[in-house]
Amino acid sequence: MTRIAAAAILAASLVLAVAADAQQAPPARVAAPVIKIEKGEACVAPADEMRRNHMKMLLHQRDRTMRQGLREPQHSLKGCVECHASRDTGSVLGKEGFCSSCHEYTAVKIDCFQCHTPLRQAPAAARRP
Amino acid sequence: MSPERRQFLAWGAAAAAGSALAPGLRLVELAQARSPEEAASKLQRWGLLIDITKCGGCDDCVTACHAENGVSGHGRPETDAQWIRKLSVRDKRTGYAQALPLMCQHCEHPPCVDVCPTGASFKRDDGIVLVDKHTCIGCRYCVLACPYGARSFIHEAVSGQKADVPRGKGTVESCTLCVHRVDRGETPACVEACNRDGGKAMAFGDLNDAASAIHRRLKSEASGQIRADLALNTGVRYQGL
């Protein structure tokens, strides 16, 4: 009998604890990244694969372009920037930038943009006055 | 592998490639723009022919190069990047003065590639000498090794780069023969500017392609290399020097 009572008390306290958690969840210490997909169409691979492997794709493409002169558009950094740059700032960097917001969250430093431009190129029509 | 053996193998490869295609259907196409899926080929060797007698006082080639590649300085000529420059030479005895544009000479045996400790300085299969800034550590051995002073070190952080021409602090850079334009089947910016606004002194083409204008001119007219004594077999040739 005492055992059943103890079990009941434990269960009740657990329920209470869960309810308390739900009411006042501690604020996240790091703000979640903002993932803003500017272009609605599909990327070059499914999102899961892109999240896990985009750096490998860029690394391989980088060597192919640099060393062999293969400029396939599929995995080019220029292509990433063209699609994913913010339509407001024109950049993949910045507070809500497509690259920078996740990279800040995960604390992975990227140095692509020390040399490469993070800015989307103006469309050909807009360039002409 | 010795250069002779390498050349022999290249001829062998060229002969094999030639015999595999139908007659009359080869090599001419190779001078056209490659598709993005096609790698740079050893069958080609890009180069320039510069007729100094036609080179006047303008610096349109320099302006066009730096505009095309987003090369901007900080108003400090000693350390600012310089991909191409106009050089004035004068015969001390006679006083005869000439001006010529000087840039990376895209050597067949580039000293900058020999000295690079990381393999960042390399020659592409089609003869264009480039710096892979991903692996460049900024040691500047190549800057010292280049007999033409063609390389620049980037001392300060860069912004406003062109999408096709990444540039960054702590790396070495030089004329790329406008590799991004060549890959699209266009001519380098300096050549385009010279033929549009300048003295029509510069020509660009495939030195290996017997059908190209540059090949025919090199075969029929006198031309030379700067510091030919170094036997680097430069891809940039001069006339009237």
The pLDDT averaged over each successive group of 10 residues in chain B (241 residues) is 63 53 46 76 94 91 95 89 94 94 97 97 96 96 97 93 94 96 94 93 95 95 95 96 84
Out of B39, B124, B166, closest to residue A115 by CB: B166
Confidence of residue A9 (pLDDT cuts 50, 70, 90): low
Can you give the pLDDT at residue B2? 63
Quote the pTM value: 0.79
Q: Domain range for residue B192?
A: 32-239
The reply to whether A40 falls in a domain is: no
Q: From the CA of A72, how many Å to the nearest CA of chain B?
A: 5
C-alpha B103: how far from chain center: 7
Residue A41: its pLDDT value, please?
72
Domain for residue A105, yes or no?
Answer: yes
Region of poorest pLDDT, from A31-45, A96-110, B68-82: A31-45
Q: Are B232 and B146 in contact (CB under 8 A)?
A: no
Q: Would the CB atoms of A69 and B171 count as touching at under 8 Å?
A: no
Return the structure tokens found at B219.
């075969």
Nearest to A70 among B36, B133, B166 (CB): B36
Q: Report how many domains make up chain B.
A: 1
Which among B209, B212, B154, B203 is positioned nearest to B14, based on CA atoms? Answer: B209
The answer to whether the Cβ–Cβ distance between B134 and A114 falls below 8 Å is no
Do B124 and A72 lie within an 8 Å CB cutoff?
no
CB pair distance less than 8 Å for A69 and B169? no
Look at residue A76 and tell me if it is in a domain.
yes
Would residue A30 count as lying in a domain? Answer: no
Residue A65's region, left for phi above 0, alpha for psi from -120 to 50, else beta, is: alpha
A62: nearest CB among B134, B163, B167: B134
**pLDDT at residue B230, as a whole number:** 96
Decide if B67 is inside a domain: yes
Torsion angle of C-alpha atoms B182, B186, B190, B196, degrees rounded to 10:
170
Query: Residue A124 has what pLDDT?
Result: 47
Q: Which pLDDT value is given to residue B188?
A: 96
Q: How many domains does chain A have?
A: 1
Q: Which residues pair with B84 in a beta bridge?
A: B103
Q: Phi and psi dihedrals of B100, rounded to 5?
A: -150, 150
Q: Which pLDDT value is given to residue B121?
A: 97
Q: Average pLDDT for residues A7-29, to the nearest whole number?
A: 57
The reply to whether ipTM tops 0.90 is no
In this predicted structure, what is the pLDDT of residue B57? 84
- Most confident listed range (A7-21, A110-124, B213-227): B213-227
Identify the pLDDT of residue B10: 61
Candidates B124, B169, B171; nearest CB to A69: B124
β pairing state of B121-123 and B97-103: unpaired
Mean pLDDT on A10-21? 50
Which range marks the domain in which residue A60 is found? 47-123
Task: Tell me, yes or no, whether B76 lies in a domain.
Answer: yes
| Predicted pLDDT of residue A73 | 86
Q: What is the pLDDT of residue B118?
A: 97
Which DSSP letter does residue B137 get?
-
Mean pLDDT across chain B: 89
* Mean per-residue pLDDT, A88-115: 91
Measured between its terminal Cα atoms, the distance across chain B in Å is 34
Substitution target from B134, B171, B179 for chain A, most A beta carbons within 10 A:
B134
CA B233, chain centre distance (Å):
12
Q: Are A75 and A64 in contact (CB under 8 A)?
A: no
Residue B53 resides in a domain:
yes
Rounded CA separation B236/A33 (Å): 51
CATH code at B217? 3.30.70.20
* B188 assigned to some structural domain: yes
